Amino acid sequence: MSGGDEIPALPETAAANPNRLRISSHVSLPLSEIELTAIRAQGAGGQNVNKVASAVHLRFDIHASSLPEFYKQRLLALPDQRISADGIVVIKAQRHRTQEKNREDALERLAELIRSAGRTPKARKPTQPTRASKERRVDSKTRRGRIKSLRGKLDE
């Protein structure tokens, strides 16, 4: 395959459903919504460096996807450099030497990104400062004040 060839998507959980990428027990994506392209990997090479397209370039349009609206909004709000301003997720997988492993890696990384968007952050529980921490704070403030007062001019 030369750089830029279309390759069929193969999910990490191909045994369960070969046409869908499973995100959670309730959410899955049809693989037809994910564009996978074989490209030449970067880095040091060997005899096949300029011949084999083993890296995989994944593109996923959030707006055009069949994801629930909740996931779409959360994904678009993520401060992730893999998500463009147009709402397109771009993942380049080249960790492995084979195209199949890189394809699985790219799909798993997309699934993990969507899973992370689905998790709601834990609400912060406000706490009161302890007596010891209050005492430490006051002690450090008085010590600092004493140091600063010594900086002044001395009366003789």
Q: What is the pLDDT of residue 35?
A: 92
Question: Which CATH architecture describes the domain 5-118?
Answer: 2-Layer Sandwich (3.30)
Provide the pairing of β-strand 28-30 with 20-22: antiparallel
Q: Which of 5-9, 135-139, 151-155 has the highest mean pLDDT?
A: 135-139
DSSP string, 37-93: EEE---S---TTTTT---EEEEEEESTTS-S-HHHHHHHHHS--TTB-TTSEEEEEE
Domain positions in the chain are 5-118
Q: What is the mean pLDDT of the chain?
A: 84
72: tokens are 């779409």
pTM for this prediction: 0.66
Q: What is the CA radius of gyration of the chain?
A: 26
pLDDT digits (tens, 9 = 90+) for 21-73: 888 888 888 989 999 999 988 877 667 666 788 899 999 999 898 899 988 99
Q: What is the pLDDT of residue 156?
A: 64
Q: Is the pLDDT assigned to residue 9 strictly greater than 80?
A: no
